[in-house]
Every structure is written in C-alpha cells, then in structure tokens.
Amino acid sequence: MRRAIDTLFGRLVVIVIGMLVLSHVAWFAIIRFERDNVQTRFAVEEAVFLVEAVRQHIANTPDQPLPPRVRLVALDSPDVPKQPDEGTPPPLQRFVEDLKDRLPDGTDVRLNEPGGPPSVWVHGAKDAGWVVVPVQPLRPPRSRDRMLVWLALIFSTAVLAALFGAWQLQSPLRALAQAVGRFGRGQPTPPVPERGPRELRQLTHGFNQMVREVSQTENDRAVMLAGVAHDLKTPLARLRLRAEMMDDDKMRDGVVRDVDSMAHIVDQFLVFAHDRPDGSEPVPVDEQCERIARAYRAVSPDAQPIRLKLEAGPAFALPAASLDRLLSNLLDNAHAYGAPPVVIETRREAKGWVLSVSDHGKGIAPDDLIKASRPFVRLDPARGGSGHSGLGLAIVERLARRAGGECEIGNRADGGLQVTMTFPFDSATRPVQERRAGSQHEERAL
C-alpha cells in the first residue's frame, strides 16, 4: 500500500513541520519566561526607586504631602499585612526576595492583602514606620494572549514557505525518478530538465548524458544488426533457390531446413534490432490469444496442445504486432524446449494486467535464470542447430518493456518454465497516437 510518508515530499513535510513546532514551542516558552523575569525586575526597580524617593522626601521635606497611593503607616497599625507564607504564588515570592536583595539588610518587605490595590510595605532599620508604595501587577489579567495569535500566524507562514521549498526540491527529483523508470522499462526517455540544487543538476546532467550514450550505442547496434540481417536475406534466397534445384531429395531437404533455420535467425535479428515503439492498433489480448492459438494449431498440427485461461476481459489491450511477436516467440520456445501442455493465461491484478505463458517441461536451472533473457545467450549449446539464436526471451523482454510492462522469467512449482508479463493499466491501454508519436520521434532522431 502506497503511503504519503514514504515519498520524499512527505518526509520533508514531516521533518519541517516537526522542527517548526519544536522551535516555536521552545521560543514561546523562552519568551514567556523572559517576559515574566523582565516584568519582575522592572517591578522591583520601580518599588526600590519609590521607597528611596519616599525616604528622601521624609528626610528633606517632611512638611510636603506625599504623592497619591504613597503613605506612611505606624508600626503597630492593624492594617499591616502578615508575613508572606508558603501559599504565596511563586512570582510574588520571587518578587519579595529580589526586593529584599536590593534593599539594605534587615529590611522587612510585605505585600498588600489580596483584594486591595497592589502595593508593597517596606520597613527598614532606620524607618519610623511602614513605607507603603504602589507596584504594578506582575500578571495583568488578559482575555487573550496576543502572543499566541502572532505565533500561529508566523507558524502558518513558515509552514507554507517550507512546503513550497520542499515541493521545489522534490519536483525535479520526481521527474528524474520517472525518467529512470521509463529508461529501465526501455521506453523513450526525453531529456530531463536540469534544475534544483547543484548536486541535483549534476545528477540530472549525468543521467541525460548516459541516456544519450546508451541510445547512441543501441542505435549503432540496431543499424549493424539490421544491415547484416538485410544483407544476408538475398544470398539466403539464392541459396534456397539453388537447393530446390538439387536432384538428391535427401540432400535438398537438409539444405532447405538449414536455409530456413538461417532465415529464422535473420528474422530474429531484424525483430531485435527494431527498437521503436509499436504503432499498430491495440487489440483485446484475450481475443488475440484465442486467434493465435487456433492459427498455431492449424499451422503445426503436431505441436503441443495449448490451454487457455483468459480472465482479463476486453479492457486488456496491447498493440497487435507486439502481442503477436510476444506469443509467437514464447510458443516457439515452449514447443522447442518444453513439454505439453502449454498454458496461456491472462488476469487482472491490483498492480496491473498479467499475461503469462507456461509449459510443463524441465524448466531452466536456477543459476541460469538470470541469463535467460540476455541476447545471444543459449543455455544449451545443442540448441543452436535448430534455427535458434538466443534472442527469443530477449525479444520477449524487450517487447514487454516497450509496451510499458515488466517481464519475469521463472520456473513453475510443479515443473516447467513460466514467463509472466505485467502491464500497468495506463501503459497497456495507451492511445495508438501516443505510440505513433514516440515512433516518429525516434525515427527523426535516427
């Protein structure tokens, strides 16, 4: 099951949002703590200033009235508040301790009783009574902390900017990954735009250069194979004509069989060298499998029986030419090396359409499975004399990838070789115009 967290963009989003949440929460806590400390220090400095101002006023101008909310109270007045106890809130306790540190030793500091205007009572060793001065509230009541509003606004802006940056970084990587997938399936791969960070541009440039060099090598090999195969067809035709004129029937039949084997190898070369997308019309795979099976029985009455298990339905369609070549190569391979019955099966799975051909022979040794689809590789040296060039499974794999699918070669559990091809839904039913456009593009490139 595909999960969004598995993508680069998803992981970048999780990391960025997680870091933003952590940093904003940390900054919010630090700012709140520092704001409380600054408020406490300011209140202490203000209270010390007022107390010293009152003392200077009493000493210099005792006849002048005191400012509003500043007063002197006798030591034995019943209004004197009690000593702060353990139930005092921590900010107020810290305020009292800081105020005592700023005043001379032995100074008694008390806070006004709750419910009245906030004020502090100070009595020093040289004071005749209590000096009562107002203080600002340490935690003024607020209906809403505006800091949270600003924090949410900044956080939302940062998340949007981070998502845009992550998308800008992920977009060229996704384009490169899609191009790598197309190149791995053997499909035409246009150059990928070189954008993003320097390392990503270098990676994209290297990939584009690799695609150009591989395409040039493939084109050179295709031209060489096509040229050799084309040049051989004329002498093979003359050789067959001369063989038909031989008087010895046994000698004539042997030479004709050898010429037919050579002609089949040449045809395989031409099919393998033809590396352009198939521009033929798509046909329903189930119907085409039935027609090919009937034609195969009619042409080769002594061939192995073919069983059909066609469950895909009419929605499964492939280009007609590619499908004919796929099935003919697989049926010829099963007829030459396998054992009856040969089974052609189609079905629909969650990952795409499935087309498989299997036989009940000995299969291929596990160590040789990886080499089975390599071009010009014959796992049994004795097979070369029957018109086989080692290209059958290589052609099947190339045709399957050219149609947008994947090919898997393996042995059945109860014996025999099984070739399973899986085609994505969008690749198997692509419009014929798209394939023809890709074919014309490659022809212009050549």
Mean per-residue pLDDT, 172-178: 85
- Token pair for 50: 């007022």
How is residue 308 annotated by DSSP?
A: E
Query: What is the model's pLDDT at position 433?
Result: 45
Read off the pLDDT of residues 387-446 as tens digits, 9 standing for 90 and up.
444 566 777 887 888 777 888 888 888 888 899 999 888 754 554 444 444 444 444 433
Read off the pLDDT of residues 321-361 as tens digits, 9 standing for 90 and up.
778 888 888 888 888 788 888 899 999 998 889 999 998 88
Angle at 38 between CA 139 and CA 23, to 5 degrees: 90
Mean per-residue pLDDT, 279-287: 82
Domain 280-445 has CATH 3.10.450.50: no
Q: What average pLDDT does the structure give for the chain?
A: 76
Q: The sheet that has 406-411: what strands, in order across it?
A: 306-310, 342-349, 352-358, 417-423, 406-411
The phi and psi torsions of 341 (rounded to 5 degrees) equal -90, 155
- Burial category of 173 from C-beta neighbours within 10 Å (exposed 0-12, middle 13-18, buried 19 and up): middle
CA-based max dimension of the chain: 154
Q: Which residue has the higher pLDDT, 315 or 257?
A: 315
Does 45 score more than 80 pLDDT?
yes
Nearest CA to 400 out of 378, 374, 417, 419 is that of 419
Query: What is the model's pLDDT at position 441?
Result: 43
Q: Which residues, listed in sequence order, are joined to residue 134 by a DSSP beta bridge? A: 119
Does 380 score more than 60 pLDDT?
no
Mean per-residue pLDDT, 248-268: 70
Q: How many residues does the chain have?
A: 446
Q: Which of the residue ranges 30-44, 261-275, 432-446 would you say has the lowest mean pLDDT? A: 432-446
* Cβ 327 vs Cβ 289: under 8 Å: yes
**C-alpha to C-alpha distance for 403 and 397, rounded to whole angstroms:** 10
Query: What is the model's pLDDT at position 229?
Result: 64
**C-alpha to C-alpha distance for 353 and 289, rounded to whole angstroms:** 14
Q: Which residues, listed in sequence order, are joined to residue 72 by a DSSP beta bridge? A: 131
Q: Which of the residue ranges 60-69, 95-104, 301-310 would you say has the lowest mean pLDDT? A: 301-310
**C-alpha to C-alpha distance for 113 and 78, rounded to whole angstroms:** 12
Query: What is the model's pLDDT at position 446?
Result: 38
Q: Which of the residue ranges 113-122, 153-162, 380-389 would you say has the lowest mean pLDDT? A: 380-389
Query: What is the model's pLDDT at position 377?
Result: 53
Does 8 score more than 80 pLDDT?
no
Q: CA torsion sign, 173 to 179 to 183 to 186?
A: positive
Distances (CA, A) of 317 to 346, 369, 428: 11, 28, 6
Residues 6+ apart with CB under 8 A from 54: 66, 70, 72, 131, 133
* Cβ 419 vs Cβ 330: under 8 Å: yes
Give the ranges where 185-248 is alpha helix by DSSP (H).
198-244
Mean per-residue pLDDT, 119-145: 75
Query: What is the model's pLDDT at position 346?
Result: 93
Does 6 score more than 70 pLDDT?
no
| Tokens 């490139």, located at residue | 445
- The 10 Å Cβ neighbour count of residue 98 is 19
**C-alpha to C-alpha distance for 262 and 237, rounded to whole angstroms:** 11
Does 369 score more than 90 pLDDT?
no
Query: What is the model's pLDDT at position 158?
Result: 80
- Token pair for 63: 């006849």
Indicate whether this model's pTM tops 0.75: no
State in Å, rounded, how far the first CA of the chain is from the last one: 41
Distances (CA, A) of 442 to 4, 10, 225, 438: 36, 36, 18, 6
Query: What is the model's pLDDT at position 387?
Result: 41
Mean per-residue pLDDT, 16-34: 78
Mean per-residue pLDDT, 289-312: 78
CATH 3.30.565.10-classified regions of the chain: 280-445
Does 250 score more than 60 pLDDT?
yes
Does 184 score more than 50 pLDDT?
yes
* Cβ 326 vs Cβ 396: under 8 Å: yes
- Token pair for 167: 């998308």
Q: Which of the residue ranges 39-43, 50-54, 311-315, 340-344 would you say has the lowest mean pLDDT? A: 39-43
